[in-house]
Amino acid sequence: MKFIVRVESEEKVVNVEEENGYYSVEIDGKKSVVDCRHFGHKDYLSLLIDNKCYLIESAPIKIDEGKYYARVMGRYYNVEVLDELLMATREAEKIVQGPGEHIVTSPMPGLIIDVKVNVGDTVEANTVIVIMEAMKMQNELITEVPGVIKEILVKPQETVESQVPLVRIEREG
């Protein structure tokens, strides 16, 4: 099965085939054998990729299908996983919508340490917007899109729950 995977601003085409209880994964022409196991809570994955082990914690973003925050080695990444049909749907929506609102949300419950932007600031994609502490680790939350900061919904030392809107951004075309 073919997927389009975006991690931060980098996009890859990923082909996945199940073979004998494992997965054959091809990215940029490089094939890897992957063993994937869910354990504990359903949002924890143990991946064995070419005999290297990775622990991944993911949290679905409630506002959009196929989007996740994934924590790998203590750092959060914005990840979007689309099959070909969902990708075509998203592209059609962009044509219809054009510029619009983008919301940076909290990936999990935590404490806001710092807000790195002000209302009216122009930001590029992958700009750090908020620093948040969760599970005794500080995480940089970024915007996926360029735009102008329209509203800041949190302040330092504020405790937030998972999936809470933190910053509203007016997307650039």
CATH of the domain at 73: 3.30.700.30
Residue 161 reports pLDDT greater than 50: yes
Q: Could you list the residue range(s) of the whole structural domain that residue 113 is in?
A: 99-171
Arithmetic mean of pLDDT over the chain: 82
Q: Look at residue 120 and tell me if it is in a domain.
A: yes
Average of per-residue pLDDT across 50-69: 72
How many domains in the chain?
A: 2
Domain boundary among 84, 119, 144: 84
pLDDT tier at 88, thresholds 50, 70, 90: low
Are 80 and 104 within one domain? no
Judged by average pLDDT, the poorest of 31-40, 44-53, 73-82, 114-123 is: 73-82
Are 42 and 65 within one domain? yes
User: Which pLDDT does position 81 carry in this prediction?
Assistant: 83
The enclosing domain of 124 has a CATH number of 2.40.50.100
Q: Look at residue 91 and tell me if it is in a domain.
A: no
Q: Look at residue 93 and tell me if it is in a domain.
A: no
Burial class (CB in 10 A: 0-12, 13-18, 19+), 82: buried
Residue 171 reports pLDDT greater than 90: no
Three-state secondary-structure class, residue 51: coil
User: Which pLDDT does position 100 carry in this prediction?
Assistant: 78
Q: Look at residue 94 and tell me if it is in a domain.
A: no
7-12 long-range Cβ contacts below 8 angstroms, 24+ apart: 7/77, 7/78, 7/79, 8/77, 8/78, 8/126, 8/142, 8/144, 9/125, 9/126, 9/144
Q: Look at residue 76 and tell me if it is in a domain.
A: yes
- Report the half-sphere exposure of 139 (CA within 13 A, side-chain side): 25
Average of per-residue pLDDT across 27-55: 83
- As a whole number of angstroms, the distance between CA 31 and CA 11 comes to 17
Residue 54 reports pLDDT greater than 80: yes
User: Which pLDDT does position 116 carry in this prediction?
Assistant: 97
Average of per-residue pLDDT across 138-152: 89
- As a whole number of angstroms, the distance between CA 70 and CA 141 comes to 12
pLDDT tier at 121, thresholds 50, 70, 90: very high
- As a whole number of angstroms, the distance between CA 148 and CA 123 comes to 6
Are 6 and 73 within one domain? yes
Note the pTM of the prediction, 2 decimals: 0.50
Average of per-residue pLDDT across 63-73: 70
Judged by average pLDDT, the poorest of 52-66, 121-135, 138-152 is: 52-66
Q: Which residue has the higher pLDDT, 88 or 127?
A: 127
Q: Which residue has the higher pLDDT, 69 or 109?
A: 109
Q: Look at residue 143 and tell me if it is in a domain.
A: yes
